[in-house]
Amino acid sequence: MGKPIILIVDDDPQILKVLGRTLAADGYEIITAAGPDEAVARFDGTPIFLIITDYTMNGANGVELLEKIKGISPDTVRMVMSGHQDFGIVEQAVNRGRVDKFIIKPWENADLRSSVRCAWKNYELAGNNRELLRLIEEKNLSLKEINARLEESVEERTLDLRLANQRLEIAVGFQKELLNIISHEVRTPVNAISGYISLLREGAFGEIPEEVGRVLGKMDINTNEIGEMLDYLLHSSRLEQGKIEKSDLAETNLKSLIQEVLPLVQPLAQLKGLGIEIKYNEKTPLLTTDPNRLKYILINLLSNAVKYTRKGGIEILAAPSLDSTGAVVAVSDTGIGIAETDQPFIFDKFYRVNNQAEQAEKGLGLGLAIVKDYVRLLNGRISVESRPGAGSTFTVELPVDFTFSSAENREEHTGVLPSRLPAPTLN
């Protein structure tokens, strides 16, 4: 960067010489002009930071010159000199030429040099301000461009999300339709096939040969496994859809729910000559819970009791819990029972008891896993007490009122107790 440039305008060569020498000693580059026209010509792109002009030059007016310079180079600092000490002249210079400094001739060199130094600082400050404004404008433009791109990106993302939501809605609709098909179009004929196989094996259509009986036994096992797998698909899909919703809850009467479930399991019990006895304590409270999930729990426990019992009977008992904070449902049978070593694992997915007497009724080991998940969702607990050859009792305890906070706090709870719950009472 070169020296700061000062333009001195005066029709007196001696003034130009003396003033120029004085300021050049401070490191400024000095250019001169003998009159207004020559001074204006000096502004040809040269970065002049200061113009000092005489007030009167051969009839020309220095203030009028400064007015022109203000239009040509607004940032140039303007000073006017005059030997007249007339405040009217000063006022005219300031108001018309917007003069930054009025210098009285003869000048004091110290005052003049100090004024020029201040003028240079002001010029530098003005230049810095211009650069700062330019940078701010550039940043504003950049921010506007960024905002425009962000708005465009947000619009694109919004459109993508809208399309994704539409695809998700279609997928959810398809899933529901698929579950409907599984539930009605597939599960129903599987149930019918299983029912006819049971009738054939029980001799409802006459005696069958031993070899046919063995084949029917294998068919029964396979259809039961298919049915169990379909149940697992249906119920695990519902488990994945989330926790209990408020809309799922309803006031539930255990006695009514048991009576609703019984017709679904009684036909097979009757074929096997098994009775089902209901024991209901009238003090059993109404439950605020999900009746659909509780219904599945009862169906599964009763179906298992019928499936694994050859003689004797089934008992289902409902009563208040011992601490009166909920209700207990217990399903007991006189079936083949479960070994103590197997009991900790029967609620695990795909676990199958290794019991020779049970082979004809073997399933995939999914039903009790779903029961455990549903009991946990309902903030309940389940336990089993059993001995081989002496039957089993599955006991479920549920709270009177389902609470969402309790469900969230029990997310890691298995819903299974290591030992049997206290036996409910009928009085």
The domain that contains 368 carries what CATH number?
3.30.565.10
For the packed helices 210-240 and 367-377, what is the interaxial angle rounded to 10 degrees?
30
Asked if residue 394 has pLDDT above 90, the reply is: yes
For 207-239, the pLDDT digits (tens) are 888 888 888 888 877 787 777 777 666 666 655
Please say if the pLDDT value at position 243 is more than 70.
no
DSSP 401: B
Q: Among 107, 136, 155, where does a domain finish?
A: 107
- Please report the DSSP string for 245-290 in residue order: -GGG-EEE-HHHHHHHHHHHHHHHHHHTT-EEEEEE-TTPPPEEE-
335: nearest Cα among 318, 316, 311: 311
Q: Pick the more confident residue, 170 or 211.
A: 211
Q: How confident is the model at residue 325 (pLDDT cuts 50, 70, 90)?
A: confident
- How confident is the model at residue 225, as a pLDDT? 72
Across residues 287-296, what is the average pLDDT?
A: 90
Ranking 338-352, 370-384, 387-401 by mean pLDDT, the lowest is: 338-352
Q: Is residue 220 part of a domain?
A: no
Q: What's the token pair of residue 218?
A: 């294998």
Task: Tell whether pTM > 0.75.
Answer: no
pLDDT at 298 over 80: yes
Residue at 179 is within a domain: no
Q: Which structural domain range is residue 401 located in?
A: 246-427
Which of 66-80, 130-144, 254-268, 288-302 shows the lowest mean pLDDT across its residues? 130-144
| Bridging pattern class, strands 250-252 and 101-104 | unpaired
For residue 194, being part of any structural domain is answered with: no
Count CB atoms within 10 A of the CB of residue 19: 23
Higher local confidence (pLDDT), 411 or 67: 67
Q: Is 217 contained in some domain?
A: no
Residue 382 pLDDT grade (very low, low, confident, very high; cuts 50, 70, 90): very high
| Alpha-carbon gap, residue 40 to 89, rounded angstroms | 22
Distances (CA, A) of 137 to 115, 126, 127, 134: 32, 16, 15, 5
Q: Quick check: is 44 in a domain?
A: yes
Q: Please enumerate in sequence order all residues whose Cβ is within 8 A of that of 6, keeping only pairs 6 or more positions apart, or say none.
A: 23, 28, 29, 30, 31, 48, 49, 50, 51, 52, 116
Banded model confidence at residue 412, pLDDT cuts 50, 70, 90: very low
What percent of the chain clears pLDDT 70, i.e. is strictly above it?
Answer: 79
* Mean local confidence (pLDDT), 261-278: 87
Final residue of a structural domain among 89, 107, 125: 107
**What average pLDDT does range 377-404 have in this prediction?**
91
Domain boundary among the residues 107, 128, 163 is at: 107
More confident residue, 32 or 186: 32
Give me the number of domains the chain comprises.
Answer: 2
Per-residue 3-state assignment (H helix, E strand, C coil) for 327-382? EEEEEEECCCCCCCCCHHHCCCCCCCCCCHHHHHHCCCCCHHHHHHHHHHHCCCEE
Task: Answer whether residue 424 is part of any domain.
Answer: yes
Determine the Cα angle at 223 with ends 389 and 362, to 5°: 25
Please indicate whether residue 188 or residue 141 has the higher confidence score (pLDDT).
Answer: 141
pLDDT tens-digit readout, 25-66: 999 999 999 999 999 999 988 899 999 988 888 878 888 888
